[in-house]
A and B are shown apart, each in its own frame.
Chain A
Amino acid sequence: MDLASLTITNARSAIQERKTTATALAEAHYAKIEKDDPQIGAFLTLSKERALAKADEIDRLAAEGEELPPLAGVPIGIKDVMVMRGVRTTAGSKILGNYIPPYDCTAVARMETAGAVVLGKLNCDEFAMGSSTENSAWRPVRNPHDLSRVPGGSSGGSAAAVAADMAVVTLGSDTGGSIRQPASFCGVVGLMPTYGRVSRYGLIAFASSLDHIGPLTKTVKDTAIVLRTIAGRDPMDSTSAEVPVPDYVAELEKPVRGLKLGVAKEYFGDGLDAEVRSAVEAAIQNLANLGCEIVPVSLPHTKYAIPTYYIVATAEASSNLARYDGVRYGHRARDGRTLSEMYRRSRDQGFGAEVKRRIMLGTYALSAGYYDAYYLKAQKVRTLLAQDFAVAFQKVDAIVTPTSPAAAFKLGEKVDDPLAMYLADIYTVTADLAGIPGISVPCGKTKEKLPIGLQILGKHFDEATILRVATAHEQAA
């Protein structure tokens, strides 16, 4: 079976037409995982029993000649920050090493209801804090295109699993670029939907005003199918939006001719690798040849996005991670003699270095005397960053940029320099802060055969347009 060419559409129709079975697809993927994942490290936990039960259910439907649901028998993987009832969920952290959730994340439940078969849980940076997946408490993930390099992060396992044909589709989460940057590094498609487009219920919280769930896939069409499946209001998440969900797949058919695409000079400045620049410029030229109008725009506050992000995200994280105290679930230190000592030691032993660093930074930014100087200041600059996009989107329908300033870096290259690691997200964080959607699509390779990503940013709730531009780019490439 050629796993590389499997997409949602052809997997489902092969099962519907009885050319294969959902069980055979799941087993072929498990065999691939068994063979290749020891080198890559994408999966943390396999949910075989649940996967094979779902596959069997699909196979029975197919045998009865029933019309199969849209994701019938599609083998998928879930980033280990989304909870699944009865399946160990760690968020890449020792503090949740033995955590068995009692409920399902809405996005995962919607995927399963649509027929998807969940193979297992995917490796990530601890609590999704990182840009290389080297902050996983369990093991780093390696880039399938070059095992000496990182897959990006924090959804590194999600991106690597799709790139290595160990899953057809995966779900990741994006707080500062954690879907798009690894998608770019691994040569797959990754979408961060608008804030509120997809329910966050069952997503282990990192920074609640910035967290998004989204798909990583091989094709733009598969991303459209997944978005149609997981988008929409969920009463369990009060920030999920009451906005109708369009048929994103049908929207792909519309032509791109006449669309106005913004190009911001702030995304093409110092620090942008020359090969990435020329690949992205060539892609923009291709889109122009297809009839898109290229319009220069300015996003003047861009350089303030990373510092703003590292205050807002860490402040929210310091509050969200206060719940890990060793009382109700998670790791508990055995040597705490008092309640307070038990809390501290449980957290000291359970959290890794980057998580502690962010909790400390966030706590500092929120502490008496520093709140105005850091947290409030960052919230105000966040307004300016959002306004930059609002002004630009009065002139254009979408904005095209590189996803990351360079292709995948080597393992160990940035681990000792938190600032250098933070700058890997320089082109992705602003969209999280503004709440707008963004997609990364493959855009050629460097001389060293490393994937490059093109990022397309859109207006609030206008995923349809960025998917349309992404498809046009995919077909022109």
Chain B
Amino acid sequence: MKVTERDVAYVADLANLELTRQERERMLRDLNSILDYIDCLNELDTTQIQPMAQVSSQDATTPGFAGASREDVLEGLRKSLPHEVALANAPVTDGTFFEVPKVIER
């Protein structure tokens, strides 16, 4: 087994997930089975191969894939959302800020 119960707890922590006991057991089984399958990638010798992070890095000479940067402009490409629009979907707000549980104890 590649992934242990401790790994599941550690990775859930990194991913900001809590997961129930049942979910953790299922996750342990599923991750191990998927990773076992993924192991077949080790049949390939890739020491001399460049990694491909995105299509543009693979084929940068094609004009279509070249223009992935732009000038940084102060206002951006469009204006920021008006305050009330930005808050419209907030689960909890005081009308000015997004409200969250207290972060700093004093």
Contact = CB atoms under 8 A, between A and B. Distances in A.
B63 A242 contact: yes
Contacts of A339: 100-103
Interface in A319-337: 322, 325-332, 336-337
Given A318-B15, A364-B3, A239 B88 contact: no
Given A242-B67, A348-B17, A435-B58, A102 B88 contact: yes
Given A209-B53, A235-B70, A379-B53, A304 B101 contact: no
B38 A332 contact: no
Contacts of A238: 67-70
Contacts of A340: 16
Q: Chain A contact residues (Cβ within 8 angstroms of B): what range? A: 35 or more
A236 B85 CA distance: 20
B83 to A, nearest CB: 12
Interface in A376-408: 376-384, 386
A241 B65 CA distance: 6
B41 to A, nearest CB: 5
A376 B101 CA distance: 38
A310 interface: yes
B50 A380 contact: yes
A206 interface: no
B75 interface: no
Which secondary structure dominates chain A's binding surface?
A: helix
Contacts of B63: 242-243
A19 B53 CA distance: 52
A236 B7 CA distance: 39
Contacts of B66: 242
Contact of A359 (B17, B33, B70): B17
Given A209-B54, A242-B67, A337-B101, A100 B15 contact: no
Given A196-B56, A304-B41, A339-B103, A328 B98 contact: yes
B9 to A, nearest CB: 11
Given A304-B40, A357-B27, A347 B16 contact: yes
Contacts of B15: 318, 322, 359-360, 363
Contact of A381 (B18, B41, B85, B89): B41
Interface string A90-119: 000000001110100000000000000000
Interface in B1-15: 3, 7-8, 10-12, 14-15
A372 B47 CA distance: 12
Interface string A331-364: 1100011111111110110010100110111011
B14 to A, nearest CB: 5
A142 to B, nearest CB: 26
Contacts of A276: none
Contacts of B89: 98-100, 102, 328-330
B42 to A, nearest CB: 8
A311 interface: yes
A301 B44 contact: yes
Contact of A360 (B31, B59, B86): B31
A368 to B, nearest CB: 9
Contact of A303 (B10, B40, B101): B40
Nearest to A354: B30
B81 interface: yes
A380 to B, nearest CB: 4
A174 B37 CA distance: 23
A356 B19 contact: yes
A303 B3 CA distance: 24
A341 B103 CA distance: 11
Q: Nearest 8 pairs between A and B by C-beta? A: A435-B55, A241-B64, A379-B51, A329-B89, A332-B91, A243-B64, A380-B46, A209-B54
8 contacts: A208-B54, A242-B64, A301-B44, A304-B40, A344-B17, A347-B18, A351-B17, A460-B64
Given A102-B88, A379-B52, 13 more contacts: A102-B81, A102-B85, A208-B54, A239-B68, A242-B63, A308-B41, A310-B34, A318-B15, A339-B101, A348-B19, A382-B52, A434-B58, A460-B64
